[in-house]
Structure formats: structure tokens, C-alpha cells
Structure 1
Amino acid sequence: MSNILDKAKEIEEYIINFRRDLHENPELSGQEFKTQEKIMKELDKLGISYKKAGNASLIGVLRGNKPGKTVALRGDIDALPIIEQSGVEFASKNSGVMHACGHDAHASMLLGAAKILSEMKDEIAGEVRFFFQEGEETFTGAKKIIEAGGMDGVDACLGMHGMPELETGYVNIQPGYRMAGCDTIYVKFEGVSGHGSVPHLAKDTIHPACTFVTDLQGIVTKNINAQDPIVISVGKFDGGTKANVVAKYTEIDISMRYFNPQVREIAHEAIKRHAKAIADAYELKVDVRIEESALSLYNDDELAALADNSITKVLGEGKNKTLPRYMGSEDMPYYFQHAKGVYAFMGYRNEEKESLYFPHHEKFKIDEDYMKYGTALHVQFALDFLNK
């Protein structure tokens, strides 16, 4: 068993206390100013230099005593607009805002890793960067750190997320696609308004838009390889103003999830093609606007193998469990555009502690025992990569 886990256990109380403070004082995406201040104070104590990025992000830098490669470790820090019902003693004091996705734990594990690594400079060949990232929930924070130069010169990066599918003490890291990319697609049909008694004198948009919505799933079944998962969901349909007025405009908001970027392009083109064909059939105008939310997350094969070895050192044999891919999305893949990366799912499930809810639930509660494992994995991975 790795001595790194022993080091994490030695500061476990520090990690838990910091996490509870963040949990009591959650801040929404892009507004994490007090969270940023608290992290800066701790980095100052550790002698780790840093610079601000975006609205409330931080890039911490720790250079070892020997030259070498650069590894980046990331922890997100934002909360969600949820009324907390977890029942914990340190529940949110910020009404209507809750750390319901565990980012308070992610930030605290990263801070714990920074604390351990700051005392191991002699063993570090190269540089470790710590990304305390705002705005993961809005898919904006990673881009801000990248714009600030955070990924300049980085050779590898690691991120992690607590999940309830795994018991505390277990981890999932495997190569390939692990989380879906996400796009929001806005379709607007424009016709000619008129009286409901004489629709032939107008150009209705509601009926064609309904035809389009029904037609969308045909794209999934007829244009996309069944081996490549994709989800197309219409979440909003808004058309017309009154029962006896032919609707001049109908707008549709679509969420699309995918793994393979080629499939994404096929779906985009098909959606545009089908929308235009239906608009032409009914003599309408149509506008299709595609907004990228997040990219699909792909774990590098070599790094996944290295991280698997790190898991064994920290937790022992058999602790890396296989999980299916998630259709949920993350902004971690934006870092992976600049350097190879790997993403870990850390187990926090403990039914005795009622730590069993999926993120974004008002009763979300983690098993705090899992944080020492996440902290140790950050440290072990960084050392293993820099010293290989």
C-alpha cells in the first residue's frame, strides 16, 4: 500500500473541515469569489504560487527541485441553484444554493493534494499545476483557465468526480469515451400569420414543426450507426399566440448528446437537412442555430494504464471497477484538446450514511471517507507521471 494514502490520512481532518466550510457557503457558477479567497489563503500558507483566471478560478503552480514535465490536476468549485434537503449539520447557509454535485469535495481533495505535494518538492521532477475551476456546471470554467494560459506547456492532466455507483474505496478509470458531448440546437420556423378560419391564406408553422419533432428520431435510427450512441431530446416547443391566429413563428430547443465527433457532424447536417426539407414543403423559412455546450470526454489509453497503476498503489488490487459510459457531460474535455488526459470516477456510496443520491439531487450527500482516496490518487498520479 502506498505511503501516499498514509499522508492523505494524516491530513484527512483538514480536508473534511475545508470541504464542510465550502459546503456551508456555496456559490453559483462564475460567482465563486469567497471560495477563491479561501483557497488563496490556503495556498499562501503552503507557499504555492498562483494566479487568478476568469471570474473566480485559480491556477496554482508547484515546481519541483528537478526539471521535468508538467502535469495539471483539476478540481471544480461551483455549486447549483438547489434548495438543500440533505439534513447534514453543515448544510448550506446560502438559501437556494447547494453543493449538490460534490464540487466542494473535489476542490478540497485537490487542496489536500497540493498540501501533500508542497512537502514533497524533493521528489518532484517538473511542475504540478492545480486548477481550482469555476463554472463547470455552465461549461465555461475550463475555457477561462485555458485562455489564461493554464494549459501552456502541460503534458498531461487528471480530473475526477464522485459518483454513487461505486462504494467508497473504489474507483473507475478506463480508456476511451467516458462522458458524452452536449450541444443545444435552436430551430425557428417562420411563416405567415393569419386567421384560424382560413389557414390556406397563411403559412402555419406549428404543424410543420410538429412534423419535424416527430421526424427527429428518424435521424437517430436511420442516419446514425447503431453502435454509436446518440440522444436527441426536444426540451422546449413554443409556437403561436392565440387559438384563432395562425402561428407565424414556432421555436424548438433540442438537447443532443453524443460520443463520436463524426456522429455529431452527421447529426448536425441531418437536422439542418430535415428542417430545411420540411420548411420547403410547407413554404416556410427556417433557421437552425447550434450551440456547443461540452465536448465528449475521451480517456487517453496510456494515461489510463498509468492511472490504473496509481490506483493499485493507493488502494490495492481490484479497486478499479468497470462502469458504463455516462451520457452526462463535463467541460474537462476542453483541457484534453491541449494535452492528453484522464478522468476518474470516485465512489462515495455508503448506504448506512445515506450517501446514495446521484448528483443534482436535493438530498445529495457524500461519504466523506472517500476524499482521502481522491486526494491520494491526485498525488500518486502526479508523481507517477512526472517520474516515469
Structure 2
Amino acid sequence: MAYSYEELAEIRHYLHQHPELSGQEYQTTAFLREKLEDLGIRVLDSGLKTGLIAEIGEGRPVVALRADIDALPILEQTNLPYQSQNPGVMHACGHDFHQTSLLGAAALLKEKEDQLEGTIRLIFQPAEEISEGASAVLATGLLDDVEGIIGFHNIPQLKAGKLAINSGAMMAGVEKFKVSVTGVSSHAARPDLGVDTVTAVTTMVQNLQLLISRTVSPFEAAVLSITHLDVGSTWNVLPKSGYFEGTIRSFNPKVQRDLKERFISIINHLAESLGVDVDFEWGVTPPVTYNDAALTKVVWEHSQGIADVIVAEPSTAGEDFAFYQERIPGVFAFVGSNGAPDAPDLHHDHMTIDDAAFEVSVPYYVENAQALLRYFKK
């Protein structure tokens, strides 16, 4: 039996009260499994530690719907009646809303199962916030036969009732870097007896500021931010080692690859000229979230009756949905979830969601899942 929007709000509030960090979504997974089994929906044997994959319908084609389920290490300050009961953990990115939307869509699709022209695979994905969940889902092999995939993220700056979409880049490719620099320690009074790591680190940071402005076309969007450096601990000693870290982001996969190569080249050349050793650490981060043009057209057309559909402005945030799109044609959308002039952004300890947004998020999945099945059936 399908859920009412009021029932979905109750489910979301429960999930909001019981958030779990990436890779630790055990209670959330058990809750979702129980709900899906109550609906008579098949939960597949995926081998996932947390998160789950289920399906409705049978035969080809196969399309997938994805929602993420993990929370963030944030102390909630909303004072909502359903505020997090797990201190220091909060659904500050709205994944409680995402998974509830997919659950609501699953209930409706189950009622339509006899009419479906193929199989719909439901992905309740763990560990999005640490960019590991999508890869874990892909490793199960349960998406090998999927021909198209859709997902969405809520956007507090958009009012409930709005849906933003565009073909091409929707969210940035992300690189997370840490560069460790090692020289030779010496007394500050005799820098000639050492290899100055402080100078090396600051020289590298300064030179990297030219990477975007002098190597990237002005018609492309890219950013490099060095957000943290640590070198030295006292006033009269030149330290042996230090490091700096930050991020590189762009909307063009080739630009992203080129920036990383040039970044490494600049650091290596400076290290050689300054006589220091360097070590690079690259985080697990997503590529560009890039919408398939043909499928975007299908989703755009079939979303007109369920929302005020607008052209999306790409976000410089990252999203591990992009890992699916490297292997499967996909569409990622933005669903309005608040819209108040002073609405706190994602990852904020006061971030809240308007439950009226279910009136777009649930039919977004339902209508477009069926539309994509018909599209691939041709």
C-alpha cells in the first residue's frame, strides 16, 4: 500500500532522529529492509555491509533509482521536535529525505508492478559522504545490466515544488590533495646548514595560485583552494617537514585531469629546485557528475507535470553518483527543499527540509522510472 505524504513525513522524521555515519548505517539498513519487505518488494543479496539493493518488476530493460542514506558528523542545532537523538551526528545533507522519497516511490511502483515494462532496481546507498558507497554498490555486480540510472539531491535554496536539471555537468569533479614536504632541520640562525621547508611550502602554495589563472581557459570553470598548511612549531628552528592540503574542482573531465597533472608537475619541479622531497596523497573523491543528454531530455519532458522545472546551475560540490555515470548513462537532478531567503545550506547545523518537497521527489522517481523503461524498450 502506498504511503501518504503525511506518512512519509513521519518516516523521514524518524530517520532524522536516528542518523548514522558513513559505513555505520546498520539501524537505517534494517529499518529500510523491514519497510521494503512489508511492501512485498524483493531485497537482493548484495553482500553490502550497510545499505541495500531491491527490485520491482522483471525482465529487460533495467533502470535504477538511487538514494543515499548516511549522515554527517555534525551536532544538530535546529531544536526540531524530531532533532537527532545521536549527539554529534545529523542528517545535515538531507539524506533522510532522499531515502524516504525512494521508499515512497518504491511503494507506488510496487502497486504498478504489473504495468511496468521491465525491472526497476532500487539503490539505498551507504557512505556517500566519504565517496565510497557508489563504488561498493557497483562492485556487487547488481548494476551490470542497468541501462540507465537517476538520482537527485535536495537544494535548500530552491523552494519545494521546483526541480532543476540540465544536461552535461551538474556537479564538480573533486580532487582532495595533501602534499607532504621534507627538508633538513636547522637552527634558524644557520639556515645554510639545513633545507628550508617553510620556504618550500610557501613557495609551492604561492606558485599554485597561477594554476587556474594561467592554464585554464577563461571559458571553463575551475577552482583550486589550499585550505590548510602546517609547518614548524617554534620561532627559532627551521623544521624538517610540513604539509599543505586542499581541493581542485572543475566541471570538465579533461580539465580536471590536466589540472591534476600540472599540479603534480609544478610541485615536483619546485621540490627539485629547492632541494626538498615531496609525497602526494590523493583522497577518494568523485569525478564530474555529468548528465547524459538523451536521458536528460526524457526526464525533463516527463517532469513537467510534477514540478516547476528549471535549468540547473551546476554546483561546485561533489557527488559520488558520478561513479555510476562513469559506467551507466544517468541523470541527476536538484529538488527544492526549502527556499526561505535565509535557509541554511547543506552541511549546516541548522539545515531543515520542508516536507512539502515530497510532492516532487516521489513522483520524480516514479514518473521517470517508467519513462526510462519505455525509452529503453524501443
Task: Give the secondary structure class of the aligned counterpart of 2:285.
Answer: strand
- Contact map agreement 1:180 1:259 (CA 8 A) in 2: yes
Moved more, 169-178 or 238-247: 238-247
Task: State whether residues 355 and 364 of structure 1, in contact with CA within 8 Å, keep that contact through their aligned partners in structure 2.
Answer: no
Mapped contact 1:151–1:338 kept (Cα < 8 A): no
The aligned residue for residue 48 of structure 2 is 54
CA contact (8 A) 2:287 2:323 kept: yes
Which secondary structure state, in structure 1, belongs to the residue aligned with residue 311 of structure 2? Answer: coil
1:360 to 302, 322, 347: 347
Q: Which amino acid aligns with 1:360?
A: H
The aligned residue for residue 162 of structure 1 is 154
Relative to structure 2, which stretch is displaced further, 256-265 or 116-125?
256-265
CA drift of 1:13 comes to: 2.1
Query: Aligned to 1:35, what secondary structure does the other structure show?
Result: helix
Question: SS at the partner of 1:387?
Answer: helix
Matches within 5 A, 1:16-165: 16-50=9-43, 51-64=45-58, 67-165=59-157
Deviation for aligned residue 1:261:
1.6
Q: Does 1:230 align with 2:226?
A: no
Please state if 1:239 is matched with 2:226: no
Letter in 2 for 1:341: G
Aligned to 2:367: 380
Inter-partner Cα distance in structure 2 for 1:17 and 1:150: 31
| d(CA) in 1 for partners of 2:74, 2:303 | 33
Q: Secondary structure at the match of 1:378?
A: helix
Are residues 1:324 and 2:317 paired? no
| TM norm structure 1 | 0.93
1:196-215 map, 5 Å: 196-215=188-207
Which of the residues 233, 242, 247 maps onto 1:250? 242
1:89 deviates by 1.1
Cα separation, 1, equivalents of 2:176 and 2:18: 31
What residue identity is the alignment partner of 1:189? Answer: V
Q: Distance in 1 between matches of 2:94 and 2:283?
A: 27
8 Å CA contact 2:18, 2:84 repeated in 1: yes
Structure 1 residue 52: Cα displacement:
4.3
Looking at structure 2, the residues matched to 109 and 242 of structure 1 have their Cα atoms a distance apart, in angstroms, of 54
Letter in 2 for 1:375: V
Are the structure 2 counterparts of residues 195 and 186 from structure 1 closer, same or farther at C-alpha, using a change threshold of 3 Å? same
2:163 is aligned with 1:171? yes
Secondary structure (helix, strand or coil) at the match of 2:275 reads coil
8 Å CA contact 1:54–1:141 kept in 2: the answer is: no
Contact 2:57 2:114 in 1 (8 A): no
What SS class does the counterpart of residue 68 from structure 1 fall into? coil
CA–CA distance in structure 1, aligned partners of residues 151 and 38 of structure 2: 24
Answer with 50-59 or 374-383: which moved more.
50-59
On the 8 A contact 1:224/1:266 being kept in 2, the answer is no
Rounded to whole Å, the distance in 2 between the matches of 1:263 and 1:22 is 39
Distance 1:60 1:349 in 2: 30
Runs of 4+ deviating beyond 6 Å = none
- Indicate conservation of the 8 Å contact 2:70/2:95, yes or no: yes
Residue-by-residue CA offset, 1:222-275 (whole Å, 9 max, x unaligned):
111122211111122111243222221121112111221211222122212211
Distance 1:301 1:34 in 2: 38
CA shift, 1:286, in A, is: 2.0
Matched to 2:167, the amino acid is: P
For residues 306 and 115 of structure 2, what CA distance do their matches in structure 1 show? Answer: 17
Equivalent residue in structure 1 for 2:5, among 9, 12, 26: 12
Report SS of the residue matched to 2:118: strand
Task: Report the identity percentage.
Answer: 32
**Number of aligned residues:** 374
Cα gap change, 1:271 to 1:304, in 2 (>3 Å): same
- Give how far 1:350 is off: 4.5
Q: Report the Cα distance in structure 2 between the residues aligned to 1:183 and 1:344, rounded to whole angstroms.
A: 22
Q: Deviations over 1:66-92 (max 9, x none)?
A: x33111001111111111121221111
Give the TM-score, by structure 2 length: 0.95
Q: Which runs of 5+ in 1 are unaligned?
A: 1-6
Contact 2:163 2:360 in 1 (8 A): no
- Gapped runs of 5+ residues in structure 2? none
1:96: Cα distance to partner? 1.2
Tell me by how many angstroms 1:348 deviates: 1.5
Give the structure 2 partner of residue 298 of structure 1.
Answer: 290
CA-based RMSD: 1.6
What code does the residue aligned with 1:287 have? D
